Amino acid sequence: MSISGIFRGRGFLSASAMLFVALNVANLSNYLYQVVMGRALGSDNYGLLVSIVGLVNVIAPSLTFLQTSSAKSIAARTEVSPPLAHAWNDPLTRAAFMVCGGITVILVLLSPVFALVLHTPSVGPPLVLAASVIPSAALALGQGRLQGMHALGLFAVLAISVSVLRLTFGPLAVAMGAGVTGAGMALVLAAGLGAAMALHLTRRAGAVSLASVRGELGRGAAALVVFWMMVTADVVASRIFLDSHNAGEYNAASVVGKAVFWLPAAIAIAIYPRVARDHSRGASTTGLLLKAMGLTLGMCSIAVLGLKIVGPFVIPAFYGHSYDSAAHIAWEIGLAAIPFALGNLLVYYHLASEGLRVAVVVVIGAIAEFVALGLLHNSVNEVAIAYGIGGTVLCVGLLAIEFIWPPANRELHPPPELGGEYATIAG
């Protein structure tokens, strides 16, 4: 199966390839950050950092609905919108900041509770979670506006820049004695700087009215918040149920094993506008989904095999020999991450098409995962098994609403040829 079979058109193929390369360079930089932090903090403190980052990674990717909604609104315009004098003049940005400000206050008040649950005597690490909300929302909005403007080159530069800033600020904070709190705040600062750049560069895209995105915001929020809770639930559960040493080992293995999840993530982002366009014209998108699933599954399988073969050698070389046992379970976590990689693709696919029932399926998958983690948490292997159970239930449910219970009003016509404004990024 060729990539060009999935992404028809040279422009679409080259843009998708550029996005794939940029996101995986950014992911590599993020892994370097994890490796440096793992060595600098030691397994116990690193386990706490990964738990905090896991919670941040519930918030930041969950806000992707701001990105997809703003991208759709801007890309679908038929008339030029007046440029913004300031980013704050955008109604969607203003509303997002106000809501996220309220969430920040709530998280600050709850920081002692998070400290108790995560077994840390300081409220510093939980305050990282509160501080991340507004920068994460701003970054999602900036990325969405770049997508809507078809500025994929700037989107790629932004992704790499934020990762490089993270990799720079994190070690610097630890070297200055700021510990886990400083390492976490480095993520917040990197996201904030990237967001400021993106929002400034996209002022010429004009305003996004709340009325134009209200439906998308609701569906996206419901599905994506719960989905990213599922993706990161295992690292939080390991911190709660396992002792600090085993939690650190699991979290190190999780960081490496979940490369299986991140590796094909660009596929979901690339097909999102294509599915939305074809679905709006009543065209069948099932063939595109099947090919994207095949490519995702192939990439994930190769990644798991690689972890199984080279993990026992690579992980101790990067993290140090104190993480030896993590090297032998990383591939198991990678195997458990395969249904989540497929689930990520399917969530994007359903949100780009009808998107209504996907939230229900995601909630069912989350319940299955949380129950499994409640029953299976006595060892790192049990946590990995529970994680895989949740992902499998999610994936099966999302496949069912496409192939077994598709929307009754869905029309199935041959997909239209690419053209018009969309052709500027899709060929």
* Span 30-64, pLDDT tens digits: 778 877 887 777 766 777 787 787 778 777 777 88
| The pLDDT value given to residue 93 | 94
| The pLDDT value given to residue 385 | 93
Rounded Cα–Cα distance for residues 378 and 375 (Å):
9
Q: Residue type for 202, please? A: T
Burial class (CB in 10 A: 0-12, 13-18, 19+), 370: middle
| The pLDDT value given to residue 171 | 87
- Residues with Cβ within 8 Å of 270's Cβ and at least 6 positions away in sequence, in order, are 7, 12, 15, 16, 19, 20
Rounded Cα–Cα distance for residues 93 and 144 (Å):
11
From residue 192, give the alpha-carbon distance in Å to each of 93, 125, 138, 231: 14, 18, 7, 23
- Whether the CB-CB separation of 389 and 381 falls below 8 Å is answered with no
60 secondary structure, DSSP code: H
Q: Which residue, chain included where needed, has tokens 């990439």?
A: 299
Mark the ranges of the chain whose per-residue pLDDT is less than 70.
1-16, 19, 43-44, 76-78, 273, 277, 280-281, 315, 318-327, 354-356, 406-427
Name the CA radius of gyration of the chain, rounded. Answer: 21
| The pLDDT value given to residue 425 | 32
Q: Residue type for 125, please? A: P
- Whether the CB-CB separation of 15 and 152 falls below 8 Å is answered with yes
pTM for the full model?
A: 0.73
Q: Please state the length of the chain.
A: 427
> What is the domain range of residue 137?
3-426
413 bridge partner residues: 283
Number of domains in the chain: 1
Q: Among 54, 61, 123, which Cα is nearest to 344's?
A: 61
Rounded to the nearest 10 degrees, the angle between the axes of helix 10-62 and helix 244-257 is: 160
283 bridge partner residues: 413
| The pLDDT value given to residue 417 | 45
| The pLDDT value given to residue 12 | 55
Rounded Cα–Cα distance for residues 310 and 301 (Å):
14
